[in-house]
Amino acid sequence: MNGPQVRVRTPHDLRRERRRRPRSCWDHLVAAPLWPLHGANLGTLLRTCDAVGACLAVPRLPWVPEALERGNTLRHPACVHWTGNPIRWLQRQRDRGSAVVGVELAEESVRLADLPAARRRTVMVLGHEQTGIPGEALDLLDLAVEIPMVGTGSSLNVAVAGSLVLYRLAGLG
């Protein structure tokens, strides 16, 4: 039996489909891992942000710039916003009219499949790798979203969870 004819696109094909030049700031969609523990997750999220046309918001912690530099395997600078106090920064986003969507395993969470694409500027908040989104920040969410799981693990890697939700919010997934 013959299977479908599959031709993998070449790097040349792919380059023709992509943007010629990076945009310095997309701003419609912002991924916010505001309490990061592992630098590798920031690098993974940075790549997803580029793929879906989102910016990354990170706290000004001493180790974060180097983690981003190491994780940015693209050949151009990425759109990164720096936050001082994460709670105050989140409150400011809300005050300026952005929707704040938390990616969290919460009682009130909607399932990923029911999450609509972002219709206005949206900040997607991710939790700390061990302790999740702090209570003070949960109070600032407009909506929480959960990725359903059927396996034995209690949660996904934070960069994987963030990437799945980003695709949905960007209307690409």
Ligand X SMILES: C[S@@+](CC[C@H](N)C(=O)[O-])C[C@H]1O[C@@H](n2cnc3c(N)ncnc32)[C@H](O)[C@@H]1O
Judged by the rule CB under 6 A, the positions of this chain that interact with ligand X are: 103-105, 126-127, 129-133, 146-147, 149, 155-156, 158, 161
Nearer to ligand X, 78 or 105 (CB): 105
Structure tokens at 76: 């151009």
Give the separation between CA 169 and CA 135, rounded to whole angstroms: 23
3-state secondary structure of 35: coil
- We find the least distance from the C-beta atom of residue 126 to ligand X, in angstroms, to be 4
- We find the least distance from the C-beta atom of residue 45 to ligand X, in angstroms, to be 11
Nearer to ligand X, 2 or 130 (CB): 130
Among 92, 154, 152, smallest CA distance to 123 is for 92
Backbone angles phi, psi at 124, to 5 degrees: -105, 115
Give the separation between CA 12 and CA 163, rounded to whole angstroms: 25
Nearer to ligand X, 143 or 156 (CB): 156
CA dihedral 138, 101, 109, 133 (to 10 degrees): -40
Q: Output the residue with the shortest Cβ distance to ligand X.
A: 127
- We find the least distance from the C-beta atom of residue 173 to ligand X, in angstroms, to be 15
- We find the least distance from the C-beta atom of residue 27 to ligand X, in angstroms, to be 22
Nearer to ligand X, 22 or 143 (CB): 143
